Amino acid sequence: MALLEVKNLTVEFGSEDKPFRAVDSVSYSVDRGEVLGIVGESGSGKSVSSLAVMGLIDFPGRVSADALTFDGQDLITMPAKRRREITGKDIAMIFQDPMSALNPCFTVEAQIMEALKVHEGGNKKQRRERTLDLLNQVGIPDPKSRMTAYPHQLSGGMSQRIVIAMAIACNPRLLIADEPTTALDVTIQAQIIDLLLKLQEDSDMGLILITHDLALVSEAANRIQVMYAGQLFESGPADSIFAAPRHPYTQALLEALPERSEGHDRLRTIPGVVPGQYDRPQGCLLAPRCRYANDHCVKARPEVTDFNGRDVRCFYPLNDQGQPTGLTADTTTGETV
């Protein structure tokens, strides 16, 4: 059984009769020792879906799912108190901006020890030792003197290491890293990712890596999940997605990589933005931005289907040559292909 099993997770905001679906029937699973990469533009529901897994979606947000289980335990029906025992201990999360993730009023030591106190107990001395241990583990130079530092005295990279130390304090079995490097310098980014992957390997954790850095995900993840406007667009093994994207959106994302624009005057982009609450298209959510879209795409919404062993949400999944399949004469408009 997978460590985390998410089936048709939906997160809605707004009124009951006119809800906005930030996450729309997303399914995935993560195994022990596995790295799942979730990619997509800003506003595609990556963070919201993982917050739902953490149980951090507040009123007026509504979370529903056919299944949301961790290690066989149902997270949805579980009492709040029991769930908090899992949150922070077995499932931990790292957030985007390390500079705002630490409470400015408390020392590094206090913030790490707090997590230990809640979940593991022990006495103050043990917790302090463990904290020192953790700081060493995440590569903080001179950890002893950093213990009593306040967040404003730390650099961004240093703060992110502290945040990571805080997350792995109770030896979680699943770690969710929500764009852990977005707010950091490029030089620091690689270090932090290396650190995360090393920790993941050492303790055989499951890791969900949320990012919009495709290059990063291609190296780190076993499986990739492409999300768009709250929906799952494509998922499958990392290398095969990179070799042959099946969804036009994945293809466009990959083409936007700078290294794939060699020989072009300009970097390739995807025109337009992710639809928000008020401009959601009636048909396929990507239709206004998709280069292959036709009338059918504008009118009807595709479901996730299996295509060559991969989950794809598209009427016309791409073949190995990157061309849409299944287009027939009557659905084709002049513009496509």
Partner 1 sequence: MLGFLFRRLGDIIPTFFGVTLLVFFLIRLIPGDPILMMAGERGVDAVRYAELKAQYGFDQPVIVQYFDYLIGVFQGDLGKSFVTKKPVIDEFLTLFPATVELATMGILFAVIFGIPFGVLAAIHRGKWIDHLTMSLSLTGYSMPIFWWALLLIMFFSTTLGWTPISGRISVMYFFEPVTGFMLIDSLLSGEKGAFASAFSHLILPTVALGTIPMAVIARMTRSSMLEVLGEEYIRVARAKGLAPMRVIMVHALRNALIPVITVIGLQVGVLLAGAILTETIFSWPGIGKWIIEAMNRRDYPTIQGGILMIAFLVMAVNLIVDLLYGIINPRIRYKR
Q: Which is nearer to partner 1, 135 or 166 (CB)?
A: 166
- Give CA torsion, residues 172, 174, 178, 184, to 10 deg: 50
> Angle at CA 220, nearest 5°, toward 217 and 223?
70
In the complex, the smallest distance separating the C-beta of residue 4 from partner 1, rounded to whole angstroms, is: 15
Is residue 212 a contact residue for partner 1 (CB under 8 A)? Answer: no
Which residues inside 19-78 make contact with partner 1, applying CB under 8 A?
A: 51, 54, 56
CB 166 within 8 A of CB 112: yes
CB 135 within 8 A of CB 143: yes
Looking at 8, 42, 126, 153, which residue binds partner 1 (CB under 8 A)? 153
In the complex, the smallest distance separating the C-beta of residue 23 from partner 1, rounded to whole angstroms, is: 17
Is residue 147 a contact residue for partner 1 (CB under 8 A)? Answer: no
Is residue 229 a contact residue for partner 1 (CB under 8 A)? Answer: no
Is residue 125 a contact residue for partner 1 (CB under 8 A)? Answer: no
Rg of the chain over CA atoms, in angstroms? 21
Looking at 37, 88, 143, 230, which residue binds partner 1 (CB under 8 A)? 88
The interface region with partner 1, picked from 8-16, 94-102, 248-256, 280-288 by CB under 8 A, is 94-102
Q: Distance between CA 308 and CA 236 in Å, rounded?
A: 10
In the complex, the smallest distance separating the C-beta of residue 120 from partner 1, rounded to whole angstroms, is: 11
- Quick note: the x/- pattern for partner 1 over 315-334, rule CB under 8 A, is --------------------
Is residue 120 a contact residue for partner 1 (CB under 8 A)? Answer: no
Q: Distance between CA 67 and CA 56 in Å, rounded?
A: 17
- Quick note: the x/- pattern for partner 1 over 269-308, rule CB under 8 A, is ----------------------------------------
Q: Which is nearer to partner 1, 21 or 89 (CB)?
A: 89
In the complex, the smallest distance separating the C-beta of residue 65 from partner 1, rounded to whole angstroms, is: 19
CB 76 within 8 A of CB 158: no
The total number of residues shown for the chain amounts to 337
Looking at 103, 155, 305, 308, which residue binds partner 1 (CB under 8 A)? 103
Site for partner 1, rule CB under 8 A? 51, 54, 56, 84-89, 92-93, 95-97, 100-106, 114-115, 118-119, 150, 152-153, 163, 166-167
